[in-house]
Structure 1
Amino acid sequence: MAKSSGPPSRVPRRASAGARAARGAVDARVWLSGIRLSGFMVIMLGLVVLAAFVLVPTVGTYVSQRQQLAALEESVQLTRDEVADLEAQRDRWRDPAYITTQARERLYYVRPGEVVYLVDNDLPPELVPQEQRAVSEDVEATRTDWMGQLVRSITEAGLATTGVAPITVGVPDPAPTPSPSDTAE
Protein backbone atom coordinates (compact mmCIF):
# COMPACT_ATOMS: atom_id res chain seq x y z
CA MET A 1 0.00 0.00 0.00
CA ALA A 2 1.07 3.45 -0.76
CA LYS A 3 1.35 6.04 1.92
CA SER A 4 -0.51 9.22 1.32
CA SER A 5 1.01 12.51 2.33
CA GLY A 6 -2.38 14.23 2.72
CA PRO A 7 -4.22 14.94 5.91
CA PRO A 8 -5.80 12.03 7.65
CA SER A 9 -9.43 11.55 6.91
CA ARG A 10 -10.34 11.47 10.58
CA VAL A 11 -9.22 14.02 13.15
CA PRO A 12 -9.38 12.68 16.70
CA ARG A 13 -12.13 14.40 18.61
CA ARG A 14 -11.88 15.80 22.04
CA ALA A 15 -14.28 14.64 24.65
CA SER A 16 -17.80 15.89 24.06
CA ALA A 17 -19.64 18.16 26.52
CA GLY A 18 -21.53 15.18 27.94
CA ALA A 19 -18.33 13.26 28.54
CA ARG A 20 -16.74 16.30 30.20
CA ALA A 21 -19.73 16.76 32.45
CA ALA A 22 -19.51 13.11 33.38
CA ARG A 23 -15.81 13.54 34.25
CA GLY A 24 -16.52 16.55 36.46
CA ALA A 25 -14.04 19.44 36.10
CA VAL A 26 -12.43 20.71 32.90
CA ASP A 27 -8.78 19.77 32.55
CA ALA A 28 -6.72 22.98 32.59
CA ARG A 29 -4.03 21.55 30.33
CA VAL A 30 -6.53 20.78 27.62
CA TRP A 31 -8.01 24.26 27.88
CA LEU A 32 -4.62 25.98 27.77
CA SER A 33 -3.44 23.87 24.85
CA GLY A 34 -6.38 25.18 22.82
CA ILE A 35 -5.19 28.77 23.10
CA ARG A 36 -2.95 29.85 20.26
CA LEU A 37 -1.06 33.12 20.66
CA SER A 38 0.43 34.87 17.72
CA GLY A 39 2.95 37.68 17.79
CA PHE A 40 0.29 40.18 16.76
CA MET A 41 -1.96 39.15 19.67
CA VAL A 42 0.90 39.49 22.15
CA ILE A 43 1.73 42.98 20.87
CA MET A 44 -1.93 44.06 20.99
CA LEU A 45 -2.34 42.66 24.52
CA GLY A 46 0.79 44.56 25.59
CA LEU A 47 -0.59 47.78 24.09
CA VAL A 48 -3.91 47.32 25.93
CA VAL A 49 -2.10 46.78 29.24
CA LEU A 50 0.13 49.81 28.57
CA ALA A 51 -2.91 51.94 27.71
CA ALA A 52 -4.58 50.85 30.95
CA PHE A 53 -1.50 51.84 32.97
CA VAL A 54 -1.36 55.21 31.24
CA LEU A 55 -5.09 56.03 31.35
CA VAL A 56 -6.09 54.84 34.85
CA PRO A 57 -4.20 57.60 36.73
CA THR A 58 -5.45 60.16 34.22
CA VAL A 59 -9.06 59.05 34.71
CA GLY A 60 -8.58 59.13 38.49
CA THR A 61 -7.23 62.67 38.29
CA TYR A 62 -10.13 63.69 36.06
CA VAL A 63 -12.70 62.28 38.49
CA SER A 64 -11.10 63.95 41.52
CA GLN A 65 -10.91 67.28 39.70
CA ARG A 66 -14.59 67.01 38.73
CA GLN A 67 -15.47 66.37 42.39
CA GLN A 68 -13.43 69.39 43.48
CA LEU A 69 -15.06 71.50 40.80
CA ALA A 70 -18.55 70.44 41.93
CA ALA A 71 -17.68 71.24 45.56
CA LEU A 72 -16.32 74.65 44.60
CA GLU A 73 -19.40 75.42 42.48
CA GLU A 74 -21.61 74.52 45.44
CA SER A 75 -19.50 76.76 47.68
CA VAL A 76 -19.83 79.63 45.20
CA GLN A 77 -23.61 79.13 45.08
CA LEU A 78 -23.83 79.18 48.89
CA THR A 79 -21.76 82.37 48.98
CA ARG A 80 -24.00 83.96 46.35
CA ASP A 81 -27.06 83.05 48.43
CA GLU A 82 -25.46 84.60 51.52
CA VAL A 83 -24.58 87.75 49.57
CA ALA A 84 -28.17 88.00 48.30
CA ASP A 85 -29.51 87.61 51.86
CA LEU A 86 -27.12 90.26 53.18
CA GLU A 87 -28.04 92.67 50.38
CA ALA A 88 -31.74 92.15 51.11
CA GLN A 89 -31.06 92.81 54.80
CA ARG A 90 -29.06 95.93 53.92
CA ASP A 91 -31.94 97.17 51.77
CA ARG A 92 -34.37 96.58 54.65
CA TRP A 93 -32.16 98.57 57.01
CA ARG A 94 -32.16 101.50 54.56
CA ASP A 95 -35.93 101.78 55.01
CA PRO A 96 -36.75 104.25 57.85
CA ALA A 97 -39.99 102.40 58.68
CA TYR A 98 -38.07 99.16 59.27
CA ILE A 99 -35.55 100.93 61.50
CA THR A 100 -38.39 102.45 63.52
CA THR A 101 -40.09 99.08 63.90
CA GLN A 102 -36.88 97.38 65.01
CA ALA A 103 -36.13 100.15 67.53
CA ARG A 104 -39.64 99.82 68.99
CA GLU A 105 -39.52 96.00 69.20
CA ARG A 106 -35.94 95.41 70.27
CA LEU A 107 -35.09 98.51 72.30
CA TYR A 108 -38.60 99.49 73.46
CA TYR A 109 -38.26 102.99 72.03
CA VAL A 110 -41.44 105.08 72.01
CA ARG A 111 -42.46 108.33 70.47
CA PRO A 112 -43.03 111.32 72.71
CA GLY A 113 -46.46 111.16 74.30
CA GLU A 114 -46.98 107.39 73.79
CA VAL A 115 -47.71 105.09 76.70
CA VAL A 116 -46.23 101.60 76.57
CA TYR A 117 -47.51 98.66 78.58
CA LEU A 118 -45.15 95.74 79.12
CA VAL A 119 -46.85 92.49 80.08
CA ASP A 120 -44.98 90.16 82.39
CA ASN A 121 -45.72 86.43 82.59
CA ASP A 122 -47.36 86.34 79.21
CA LEU A 123 -46.75 82.60 78.85
CA PRO A 124 -49.40 80.48 77.20
CA PRO A 125 -51.49 78.54 79.73
CA GLU A 126 -49.94 75.19 78.83
CA LEU A 127 -46.45 76.47 79.73
CA VAL A 128 -47.40 77.96 83.11
CA PRO A 129 -46.40 75.62 85.96
CA GLN A 130 -49.56 74.19 87.50
CA GLU A 131 -48.22 73.24 90.91
CA GLN A 132 -45.94 75.58 92.78
CA ARG A 133 -44.36 74.66 96.09
CA ALA A 134 -44.91 76.91 99.04
CA VAL A 135 -41.92 78.97 100.11
CA SER A 136 -40.52 77.79 103.42
CA GLU A 137 -39.72 80.29 106.11
CA ASP A 138 -37.23 77.96 107.80
CA VAL A 139 -33.62 77.84 106.74
CA GLU A 140 -32.56 74.29 106.03
CA ALA A 141 -29.01 72.96 106.03
CA THR A 142 -28.05 70.65 103.23
CA ARG A 143 -26.25 67.44 104.02
CA THR A 144 -23.50 67.46 101.43
CA ASP A 145 -19.74 67.37 101.60
CA TRP A 146 -19.00 70.67 99.91
CA MET A 147 -15.24 70.27 100.16
CA GLY A 148 -15.34 66.88 98.44
CA GLN A 149 -17.63 68.25 95.74
CA LEU A 150 -15.30 71.22 95.19
CA VAL A 151 -12.23 68.98 94.79
CA ARG A 152 -14.18 66.58 92.52
CA SER A 153 -15.38 69.50 90.38
CA ILE A 154 -11.87 70.95 90.01
CA THR A 155 -10.30 67.62 89.06
CA GLU A 156 -13.07 66.78 86.59
CA ALA A 157 -12.78 70.23 85.00
CA GLY A 158 -9.02 69.80 84.68
CA LEU A 159 -9.30 66.35 83.12
CA ALA A 160 -12.24 67.12 80.81
CA THR A 161 -11.47 67.09 77.10
CA THR A 162 -14.92 68.13 75.86
CA GLY A 163 -17.57 70.61 76.93
CA VAL A 164 -19.95 69.68 79.70
CA ALA A 165 -23.71 70.00 79.86
CA PRO A 166 -25.15 72.96 81.79
CA ILE A 167 -25.56 72.40 85.50
CA THR A 168 -29.11 72.47 86.79
CA VAL A 169 -29.48 74.50 89.94
CA GLY A 170 -31.42 73.04 92.82
CA VAL A 171 -30.96 69.38 91.94
CA PRO A 172 -29.47 67.50 94.90
CA ASP A 173 -26.48 65.21 94.56
CA PRO A 174 -27.78 61.67 93.83
CA ALA A 175 -25.65 60.09 96.55
CA PRO A 176 -24.68 62.70 99.16
CA THR A 177 -21.70 61.75 101.27
CA PRO A 178 -21.93 62.40 105.02
CA SER A 179 -19.73 65.18 106.24
CA PRO A 180 -17.41 64.75 109.24
CA SER A 181 -19.61 67.10 111.29
CA ASP A 182 -22.63 64.81 110.72
CA THR A 183 -20.87 61.79 112.26
CA ALA A 184 -19.89 63.74 115.40
CA GLU A 185 -23.49 64.43 116.38
Structure 2
Amino acid sequence: MARQQRTQRVPVRLPEQSAQAGWLRSIRLSGFTIATLTVLVLTVVVLAPSLRIFVEQQQQIAQLRAEVEAQKSGVKDLRDERARWDDPSYIEAQARERLNYVYPGEYSYLVIDDGQTVSTGDGQPISDQVQTTQVDWVRMLLSSVLTAGLTDDKPGEIVAPVIQGPDEDGSDE
Protein backbone atom coordinates (compact mmCIF):
# COMPACT_ATOMS: atom_id res chain seq x y z
CA MET A 1 0.00 0.00 0.00
CA ALA A 2 1.12 3.40 -0.74
CA ARG A 3 1.60 5.60 2.01
CA GLN A 4 -0.35 8.78 1.97
CA GLN A 5 1.48 11.90 2.72
CA ARG A 6 -0.29 14.30 4.91
CA THR A 7 0.19 17.97 4.65
CA GLN A 8 -0.64 20.07 7.49
CA ARG A 9 -1.89 23.58 7.06
CA VAL A 10 -0.34 26.13 9.31
CA PRO A 11 -2.04 29.52 9.56
CA VAL A 12 0.23 32.38 8.57
CA ARG A 13 -0.49 35.86 9.73
CA LEU A 14 0.24 38.58 7.19
CA PRO A 15 1.13 42.09 8.26
CA GLU A 16 -1.88 44.32 8.62
CA GLN A 17 -2.71 46.43 5.58
CA SER A 18 -4.50 49.69 5.40
CA ALA A 19 -7.86 49.89 3.66
CA GLN A 20 -6.32 51.78 0.73
CA ALA A 21 -3.62 49.19 0.16
CA GLY A 22 -6.19 46.41 0.31
CA TRP A 23 -8.37 48.19 -2.23
CA LEU A 24 -5.42 48.76 -4.53
CA ARG A 25 -4.36 45.12 -4.38
CA SER A 26 -7.87 43.98 -5.12
CA ILE A 27 -7.77 45.63 -8.56
CA ARG A 28 -6.98 43.14 -11.26
CA LEU A 29 -6.04 44.47 -14.67
CA SER A 30 -6.67 42.27 -17.63
CA GLY A 31 -5.14 42.74 -21.05
CA PHE A 32 -8.44 44.10 -22.36
CA THR A 33 -8.59 46.72 -19.60
CA ILE A 34 -5.04 47.88 -20.32
CA ALA A 35 -5.75 48.05 -24.07
CA THR A 36 -8.95 50.04 -23.48
CA LEU A 37 -7.19 52.51 -21.18
CA THR A 38 -4.37 52.92 -23.72
CA VAL A 39 -6.83 53.62 -26.54
CA LEU A 40 -8.69 56.10 -24.32
CA VAL A 41 -5.50 58.00 -23.43
CA LEU A 42 -4.38 58.08 -27.07
CA THR A 43 -7.81 59.34 -28.14
CA VAL A 44 -7.62 62.21 -25.64
CA VAL A 45 -4.06 63.08 -26.71
CA VAL A 46 -4.95 63.05 -30.41
CA LEU A 47 -8.31 64.84 -30.16
CA ALA A 48 -7.50 67.52 -27.55
CA PRO A 49 -5.78 69.97 -29.96
CA SER A 50 -8.50 69.48 -32.57
CA LEU A 51 -11.19 70.07 -29.95
CA ARG A 52 -9.50 73.29 -28.81
CA ILE A 53 -9.35 74.53 -32.40
CA PHE A 54 -13.00 73.59 -32.89
CA VAL A 55 -14.07 75.58 -29.82
CA GLU A 56 -12.03 78.63 -30.93
CA GLN A 57 -13.59 78.46 -34.40
CA GLN A 58 -17.08 78.30 -32.90
CA GLN A 59 -16.31 81.42 -30.86
CA GLN A 60 -15.03 83.22 -33.96
CA ILE A 61 -18.16 82.22 -35.89
CA ALA A 62 -20.38 83.58 -33.11
CA GLN A 63 -18.42 86.84 -33.05
CA LEU A 64 -18.62 87.22 -36.83
CA ARG A 65 -22.36 86.53 -36.77
CA ALA A 66 -22.79 89.30 -34.20
CA GLU A 67 -20.78 91.66 -36.41
CA VAL A 68 -22.91 90.74 -39.43
CA GLU A 69 -26.08 91.49 -37.46
CA ALA A 70 -24.67 94.85 -36.37
CA GLN A 71 -23.78 95.69 -39.96
CA LYS A 72 -27.22 94.64 -41.15
CA SER A 73 -28.83 97.03 -38.67
CA GLY A 74 -26.42 99.75 -39.86
CA VAL A 75 -27.43 99.11 -43.47
CA LYS A 76 -31.09 99.33 -42.44
CA ASP A 77 -30.44 102.69 -40.73
CA LEU A 78 -28.66 103.99 -43.82
CA ARG A 79 -31.52 102.88 -46.05
CA ASP A 80 -33.97 104.70 -43.79
CA GLU A 81 -31.78 107.82 -43.94
CA ARG A 82 -31.64 107.62 -47.73
CA ALA A 83 -35.41 107.24 -47.88
CA ARG A 84 -35.79 110.39 -45.76
CA TRP A 85 -33.51 112.32 -48.13
CA ASP A 86 -35.75 111.28 -51.03
CA ASP A 87 -38.55 113.32 -49.42
CA PRO A 88 -38.50 116.96 -50.65
CA SER A 89 -39.99 118.33 -47.42
CA TYR A 90 -37.19 116.72 -45.39
CA ILE A 91 -34.58 118.29 -47.68
CA GLU A 92 -36.28 121.67 -47.29
CA ALA A 93 -36.37 121.36 -43.50
CA GLN A 94 -32.69 120.40 -43.36
CA ALA A 95 -31.69 123.30 -45.62
CA ARG A 96 -33.64 125.76 -43.48
CA GLU A 97 -32.27 124.38 -40.22
CA ARG A 98 -28.65 123.67 -41.08
CA LEU A 99 -27.88 126.26 -43.74
CA ASN A 100 -30.37 128.97 -42.73
CA TYR A 101 -31.85 129.02 -46.24
CA VAL A 102 -35.05 130.97 -46.91
CA TYR A 103 -37.30 131.37 -49.92
CA PRO A 104 -37.09 134.62 -51.90
CA GLY A 105 -39.22 137.25 -50.18
CA GLU A 106 -38.88 135.66 -46.71
CA TYR A 107 -36.89 137.27 -43.94
CA SER A 108 -34.61 135.30 -41.67
CA TYR A 109 -33.93 136.52 -38.17
CA LEU A 110 -30.96 135.23 -36.21
CA VAL A 111 -30.99 135.92 -32.49
CA ILE A 112 -27.44 136.56 -31.40
CA ASP A 113 -27.96 137.87 -27.86
CA ASP A 114 -30.99 136.37 -26.21
CA GLY A 115 -30.57 138.40 -23.01
CA GLN A 116 -28.93 135.71 -20.92
CA THR A 117 -25.87 136.74 -18.97
CA VAL A 118 -22.99 134.35 -19.29
CA SER A 119 -20.97 133.92 -16.12
CA THR A 120 -17.90 132.08 -14.96
CA GLY A 121 -17.94 129.04 -12.71
CA ASP A 122 -17.87 131.18 -9.56
CA GLY A 123 -20.83 133.33 -10.67
CA GLN A 124 -18.90 136.40 -11.82
CA PRO A 125 -20.11 137.88 -15.13
CA ILE A 126 -17.75 137.65 -18.08
CA SER A 127 -16.41 141.05 -19.07
CA ASP A 128 -16.43 142.29 -22.63
CA GLN A 129 -13.39 144.50 -21.95
CA VAL A 130 -9.83 143.26 -22.50
CA GLN A 131 -8.05 143.09 -19.18
CA THR A 132 -4.37 142.84 -18.45
CA THR A 133 -2.95 141.16 -15.43
CA GLN A 134 -0.89 143.08 -12.91
CA VAL A 135 1.42 140.14 -12.15
CA ASP A 136 4.94 139.73 -13.48
CA TRP A 137 4.79 136.10 -14.59
CA VAL A 138 8.55 135.83 -15.17
CA ARG A 139 9.25 136.80 -11.58
CA MET A 140 6.54 134.39 -10.34
CA LEU A 141 7.99 131.52 -12.37
CA LEU A 142 11.52 132.17 -11.14
CA SER A 143 10.29 132.44 -7.56
CA SER A 144 8.39 129.15 -7.87
CA VAL A 145 11.42 127.31 -9.29
CA LEU A 146 13.75 128.65 -6.62
CA THR A 147 11.31 127.92 -3.81
CA ALA A 148 10.75 124.35 -4.99
CA GLY A 149 14.46 123.71 -5.48
CA LEU A 150 15.89 125.26 -2.34
CA THR A 151 13.37 124.40 0.38
CA ASP A 152 13.45 121.48 2.80
CA ASP A 153 9.73 121.73 3.50
CA LYS A 154 7.29 119.03 2.50
CA PRO A 155 5.09 119.86 -0.53
CA GLY A 156 2.02 120.48 1.63
CA GLU A 157 3.89 123.00 3.79
CA ILE A 158 5.11 125.27 0.98
CA VAL A 159 3.17 128.52 0.73
CA ALA A 160 3.03 130.44 -2.53
CA PRO A 161 5.02 133.66 -2.26
CA VAL A 162 3.23 136.97 -2.64
CA ILE A 163 5.01 139.24 -5.08
CA GLN A 164 3.94 142.80 -5.59
CA GLY A 165 3.28 143.57 -9.23
CA PRO A 166 3.74 146.91 -10.94
CA ASP A 167 1.41 149.69 -9.87
CA GLU A 168 -1.07 151.26 -12.20
CA ASP A 169 1.50 153.88 -13.18
CA GLY A 170 3.93 151.09 -14.23
CA SER A 171 6.53 151.44 -11.46
CA ASP A 172 7.62 148.57 -9.23
CA GLU A 173 7.55 148.93 -5.47
Q: CA deviation at 1:39?
A: 1.1
- 2:32 matches 1:40: yes
Residue aligned with 2:62, SS: helix
- 2:110 matches 1:118: yes
Partners of 1:145 and 1:176 within 8 A in 2: no
User: Rg bigger for which structure?
Assistant: 2
Using a 3 Å threshold, how does the CA distance of structure 1 residues 122 and 55 change in structure 2: closer, same or farther?
farther
Using a 3 Å threshold, how does the CA distance of structure 1 residues 81 and 134 change in structure 2: closer, same or farther?
closer
Q: Any idea what the Cα deviations from partners look like across 1:39-95, whole Å, max 9, x if unmatched?
A: 111111101101111221121111111001011111111111111111111111111
Between 1 and 2, higher relative CO (CA 8 Å, sep ≥ 6) is seen in: 1
Q: Any idea what the Cα deviations from partners look like across 1:80-127, whole Å, max 9, x if unmatched?
A: 11111111111111111111000000010011121222223459x7x9
Partners of 2:118 and 2:126 within 8 A in 1: no
Query: What residue in structure 2 maps to residue 78 of structure 1?
Result: 70
Where does 1:23-62 land on structure 2 (aligned, <5 Å)? Answer: 26=18, 29-62=21-54
Measured in 1, the distance between the counterparts of 2:75 and 2:130 equals 59
The two structures, once aligned, show a CA RMSD in angstroms of 4.2
If the length of structure 2 is used for normalisation, what is the TM-score? 0.61
Residue type of the alignment partner of 1:140? T
Match of 1:98 among 90, 101, 105: 90
- 2:143 matches 1:145: no
Q: Which runs of 5+ in 1 are unaligned?
A: 21-25, 150-174
Measured in 2, the distance between the counterparts of 1:91 and 1:34 equals 81
Number of matched residues?
A: 140
Q: Which runs of 5+ in 2 are unaligned?
A: 143-159, 167-171
Measured in 1, the distance between the counterparts of 2:71 and 2:113 equals 41
Partners of 1:104 and 1:110 within 8 A in 2: yes
